[in-house]
Amino acid sequence: MLAGGAARRLGGADKPGVRVGGRALLDRVLAACAGARTTVVVASPRPTARPVVWAREEPAGGGPLAALGAGLRRTTADHLVLLSADLPFLEPRTVEALLAALRRGTADGVLLTDSDGRDQPLVAAYRTAPLRRELTALTDRHGSLTGLPLRRLTAALDLTRLSDPVASFDCDTWDDIATARARIREHGRVLDEWISAVKDELGIDLDVDTGMLLDLARDAAHGVARPAAPLTTFLVGYAAARAGGDREAVADAARKAAALAARWADEDVPTTTSPDARPADTASATPPTANPSIATPSTTDNRSTTGTPPTGDPSTDTASSDTPSGDVAPDATPDTRPDAG
């Protein structure tokens, strides 16, 4: 990885250290090649999120070919991936695709092309033997590699090209930085970007099922209480760490917590009172106390107790003269069942 350029179009800023999505550009590129056996960074040493081997061209700032020569001296691999340190959207799958295409074919290298179809030789996979051969030839011809442009090398190589406008996007200007920062906050990317940033910050190299954890958080929030969502996922992570901390440990702890949340939610569903629990409709049922006049007719009422009451007011039905005081008709008994709707 070449990370020692002067960044003139950024006003001389420390480009590998510029942050996009909370992470230094250098760390973002390092995350994309985490599966490499050895990662060589040609630049002055600095803190990084992942361990690397440092190299430096002589003299410092001698250009990309001089930097590539310094890096090659630190590896014995037959294949390598050559990257710049300003690729905010490079992902492991792109690196794997470059290497897979190189191994399938016979070309000296496989590189990406950008949205305008231009070659990006610093997002590429190469066989190291042709690189060493051509760098030696250029040194013999020019006395050194210092100051020579990269096209002097690529012109002599047999190359295969893959189009990937996103992965090949590099940050040369502050406008490019602003574009990258805005893009990672788009709806379709922001969650993955955030998870990657958190994992890098915490030193976690674990691929987890984000959808499963989000489902668990939803179930805990809806079935228990909103604050249960973050607390539950924290406890799942803690339990998974104690169980070994791999992907299956996370999945197992999440399944257990999700089942618990479901059981919890089931207990909170209102139930309809059993018919057997209803008060019996009997003539001896206790009437409501709010209208005692319906139980005992007034002694001054000149209506017959067996007469017909005024229509439209069933609440004034009176008991017959031989009915014990306090009894009411069955249809006046209040229904105390809860609503089923």
Position 247 confidence tier, pLDDT thresholds 50, 70, 90 = confident
CA count, 13 A, side-chain hemisphere, 69: 25
Q: Is the pLDDT of residue 293 over 80?
A: no
Q: What is the pLDDT of residue 271?
A: 55
Residue spans of the domains in the chain: they are: 8-183, 206-266
Q: Is the pLDDT of residue 339 over 80?
A: no
Q: How far apart are the first and last CA of the chain?
A: 66
- Strand 159-163 relative to strand 109-113, pairing: parallel
Q: Pick the residue with more confidence: 305 or 270?
A: 270
Q: Pick the residue with more confidence: 328 or 59?
A: 59
**Range name among 61-65, 135-139, 199-203 with the lowest pLDDT average:** 199-203
Q: What is the pLDDT of residue 195?
A: 86
The domain defined by 8-183 carries CATH number 3.90.550.10: yes
Closest to 330 measured CA to CA, from 274, 276, 284: 284
Highest mean pLDDT among 122-136, 190-204, 255-269: 122-136
Q: Are 126 and 82 in contact (CB under 8 A)?
A: yes
Q: Pick the residue with more confidence: 311 or 136?
A: 136
Q: Is the pLDDT of residue 299 over 50?
A: no
Q: Is the pLDDT of residue 70 over 50?
A: yes
CA count, 13 A, side-chain hemisphere, 125: 24
Mean pLDDT of 165-193: 90
Q: Which residues of the chain form beta strands (DSSP E)? A: 19-20, 23-24, 40-42, 53-55, 79-83, 109-113, 119-127, 159-163
Q: For tokens 């069933």, what's the residue?
A: 314
Q: What is the pLDDT of residue 270?
A: 62
At 93, give phi and psi (nearest 5°).
Answer: -65, -30
Q: What is the pLDDT of residue 269?
A: 62
Per-residue HEC secondary structure of 7-74 comes to CHHHCCCCHHHCEECCEEHHHHHHHHCCCCCCCEEECCCCCCCCCCEEECCCCCCCCHHHHHHHHHCC
Q: Pick the residue with more confidence: 205 or 16?
A: 16
- Separation CA 147–CA 168 (nearest Å): 24
- Count CB atoms within 10 A of the CB of residue 68: 23
pLDDT tens, position by position, 33-53? 988 999 999 999 999 988 999
Rg (CA), the chain: 39
